Copies of this chain bind each other. A is one copy, B any other.
Amino acid sequence: MSSSRPLRADARRNREALLTAAREAFLSKEADAHVEDIARSAGVAVGTLYRHFETREALIEEVYRQEVDELCAAPAELLDRHAPDEALRRFLLLLVEHAAVGKGMAVALGSIMATDSPVFDDARRQMAQALDRLLDAGSVAGSIRGDVGGRTLLRALGAICGMHATDGWTDEAVRITAILFDGLRCGVRNPG
């Protein structure tokens, strides 16, 4: 699909429009968005949507992947500016806040989780690496325990972010993340 020939200009434009419309729909919509609506608001027909994306899930996946790419650029920059543990703390909160934007996205991702998509695995690996970078730095500096890997931590975060309940979700997610962070530090007593 992406290899042989470059996409025709109109096709590339439509593809972008679909991704934009989808991102908007998943981030803002009350419940889960319908393909027909996404296609319409991208100014194309459903057939076009399905030419670019195998299934509804594939479209969601692609939106998700783009988000992940953006996020995974952060650790390097954070480590430049802050001490490792502070960088880690900020990254955790960044993830939570980012995830907090859209409930629809979380619901959508829930349905993907059930399908064991390889794309999803890739994203996981990528995110785990980003976290490992921060954890390793913290471990070397002696401020973060060394027995927790990025994969494990990611699972925790993905979990927290995946749980979008009704009211003040963000506040709670931030608190939970702070607790998790306290659990990761060493040489510091938790508040009593």
Copies of this chain per assembly = 2
What is the CA–CA distance of A192 and B183 in the complex, to the nearest angstrom? 11
Q: Chain A at the B interface: mostly helix, strand, loop or mixed?
A: helix
Say whether B110 contacts A103, CB under 8 Å.
Answer: no
Q: Does A116 contact B (CB under 8 A)?
A: yes
Residues of chain B within 8 A of A191, CB atoms compared: 145, 147, 186
Which A residues between 172 and 192 are near B, CB-CB below 8 angstroms?
172-173, 175-176, 179-187, 189-192
B103 engages A107 (CB within 8 Å): no
What per-residue 1/0 map shows which CB atoms of A148-183 lie under 8 Å from chain B? 100111011011111111100100110110011111
**Mask of A5-32 contacts with B, CB within 8 angstroms, 1/0:** 0000000000000000000000000011
Is A1 interfacial (CB 8 A cutoff)? no
A-B contact pairs, 6 of them (CB 8 A): A116-B166, A121-B166, A148-B179, A155-B173, A176-B180, A186-B192
- Report which A residues bind B (CB closer than 8 A): 31-32, 103, 107, 110-111, 113-116, 121, 124, 142, 145-148, 151-153, 155-156, 158-166, 169, 172-173, 175-176, 179-187, 189-192
